[in-house]
Amino acid sequence: MNTDPAHLSTNEFIKGLWRENPIFVQVLGMCPALAVTNSVINAIAMGLATTFVLIMSSMLVSSLRSFIPRQVRIASYILIIATFVTVAEYFIQAISIELHKNLGAFIALIVVNCLILGRAEAFASKNTIWPAFLDAAGMGLGFTFALICLGGVRELIGNGTLLGYMIFSENYQPWIVMILPGGGFFSLGAWLLLFNWMKSRKERLNLAAENSR
Amino acid sequence: MATESLTYIFINAALVNNFVLAYFLGICPFLGVSGKYETALRMGGAVTFVMLVSSMCAYGIHWLLLQLDAPYLQLISYIVVIASTVQLVEMFIKKFSPALFRALGIFLPLITTNCAILGLALFQTSKGYNFVQAIFYALGAGVGFTIALVIMAGIREELDLADTPAIVRGTAIVLMVAGILSLTFMGFAGLGG
């Protein structure tokens, strides 16, 4: 086990991106993951807004961790998160009305994203500001990455475009169903399938390596 | 918008724009609590009740915030009201019906982080419903949530007996089933207009 501090802090950052990816591995924060991923742009905006709220609230929770009484901690976390979500909502409204309309109520619904409350409770309330920041940044980017994966598949198959550019030829017949709600469930199910398959393959390989030793 | 008939609002919230299958609200309990038929039904009942109460409170708060000219406090005050409603309901049920309290168990406090409740309060505000319309909207949303949860639980009880490959077991197969259910509910489009 490598315990030098620099390695540990990269570890906090990397784990959210892949090994403990919030969507694909922990299956947290599903509502926005399914609702706004009908195009890549929406997915990126949602991912970045969530990352912002996650980082800011994790840092605040971690810096206030010795002041908040244990009994009212969940309520205080929710208040902190709600404050930053309000900031994010007004910011998005200021830069692009159209984006704000596309994401709709789902920006406000970041408040009840279990991922943010989960990180505040499980990590930020027990660590100092720097590890809390790294953890939040890693989880946030992992969340954004997963959202882009979902949005990419849905936009490419459902509309034949990526980021608004045509990818397939003119005669491509788009599968509208992938843009519709059902497609969200299908594509997330397919991604989880892929991750399960990779996990079981790795386990099989490890087992084979152990047996041959 | 404010002229929609009450039946339209109810059917729209319950079937056409089902909160779980069309708006993706409340996916966490939908995936987590839909294992057993009985618990699904109880969870649906509890959520419907909290929806009804918090929708009425949200109507009052929205009016109050407009009077105070402070709409930026909307989100914060909604979430505080929902959290305290859930707490209140919990204490109420514990006092008057300990049996029901034991049956609901952990699901009661978890309703706070159910996005369907906050979503309902926000949608009702942005649609500009009046008090009676808001009540019907909340009822419809609760019934829709219960329907989706109960159907899913029924399917999953059968699915446990089926011979599925190892890698699709767990969340993946539930999501696939939810996708098909969502397509089915699209058939309700145009109903109640």
Question: Over 50: is that where the pLDDT of A2 sits?
Answer: no
Quick check: B113 and A114 CB within 8 A? yes
CA distance B99 to chain A (A): 26
pLDDT grade, residue A98 (50/70/90)?
confident
Per residue in A127-141, pLDDT tens?
899 999 999 999 999
Distance CA B68, CA B55 (A): 20
Q: Are A36 and A110 in contact (CB under 8 A)?
A: no
Alpha helices in chain A (DSSP H): 5-17, 30-35, 40-63, 73-95, 97-103, 114-122, 129-159, 181-212
In the structure encoding, which two tokens stand for residue A199, read together?
């996990």
Give the per-residue pLDDT at B151.
93
Q: How many CB atoms lie within 10 A of CB B174?
A: 23
Give the per-residue pLDDT at A85.
93
Give the per-residue pLDDT at B26.
83
Give pLDDT tens digits along chain B (193 positions): 456 788 888 888 888 888 888 888 888 778 877 778 887 888 888 888 889 988 998 899 999 998 888 888 888 888 888 888 888 878 887 888 787 777 666 667 777 777 888 889 888 888 888 899 999 999 999 999 999 999 999 998 888 888 888 777 778 888 888 999 998 888 887 765 4
Across the interface, which of A105, A192, A193 has its CB nearest the CB of B122?
A105
Distance CA B177, CA B59 (A): 36
CA distance A28 to chain B (A): 8
**Residues of B in Cβ contact (< 8 Å) with A108:** 75, 118, 122
**Residues of A in Cβ contact (< 8 Å) with B113:** 112, 114, 117
Across the interface, which of A86, A109, A185 has its CB nearest the CB of B118?
A109
pLDDT grade, residue A12 (50/70/90)?
confident
In which element (H, E) is residue A166 found?
A: strand A165-166
Give the per-residue pLDDT at A1.
40
CA distance A62 to chain B (A): 21
Per residue in A16-28, pLDDT tens?
777 788 888 777 7
Chain B residues within 8 Å of chain A (Cβ atoms): 21-28, 31, 72, 75-76, 79-80, 83, 112-115, 118-119, 122-123, 126, 166-168, 170-173, 175-176, 178-180, 182-183, 186
Distance CA A118, CA A130 (A): 18
Give the per-residue pLDDT at B71.
80
Q: What is the mean pLDDT of residues A116-134?
A: 88
In the structure encoding, which two tokens stand for residue A61, read together?
């929770």
Distance CA A103, CA A147 (A): 13
Q: How many CB atoms lie within 10 A of CB B135?
A: 19
- Give the residue from A34, A89, A91 with the most B CB atoms within 10 Å of its CB, the best one to mutate: A34
Instruction: Identify the sign of the CA torsion B147, B149, B155, B161.
Output: negative
Distance CA B139, CA B124 (A): 12
CA A103-A87-B51 angle, to 5 degrees, is: 60
- Stronger pLDDT, B52 or A170, i.e. the higher one: B52
Characterize the bridge pairing of strands A161-162 and A165-166.
Answer: antiparallel
Across the interface, which of B25, B28, B168 has its CB nearest the CB of A193?
B168
Domain boundaries, chain B: 40-183
Give the per-residue pLDDT at B161.
86
Across the interface, which of A32, A86, A113 has its CB nearest the CB of B72?
A86
ipTM: 0.81
CA distance A64 to chain B (A): 19
* Closest chain B residue to A118, measured at CA: B113
Quick check: A105 and B168 CB within 8 A? no
**Residues of A in Cβ contact (< 8 Å) with B183:** 177, 180, 182
Q: Are A165 and A185 in contact (CB under 8 A)?
A: no
Distance CA B11, CA B24 (A): 17
Give the per-residue pLDDT at B189.
78
Is the pTM of the predicted complex or chain greater than 0.90?
no
- Stronger pLDDT, A167 or A61, i.e. the higher one: A61
Give the per-residue pLDDT at B29.
78
Q: Are B116 and B51 in contact (CB under 8 A)?
A: yes
Q: Which of A17, A6, A10 is nearest to A140 (CA)?
A: A17
Mean pLDDT over all residues of chain A? 85
What single-letter DSSP state applies at residue A69? -
Lowest-pLDDT range, A3-17, A70-84, B85-99? A3-17
Which residues contact residue A130 at a Cβ distance below 8 angstroms, ignoring those fewer than 6 apart? A9
Give the per-residue pLDDT at A61.
92
Residue at token pair 């017949």: A173
Distance CA B66, CA A15 (A): 45
Per residue in A192-209, pLDDT tens?
888 888 888 888 898 888
In the structure encoding, which two tokens stand for residue A36, read together?
């706004």
Give the per-residue pLDDT at A4.
58
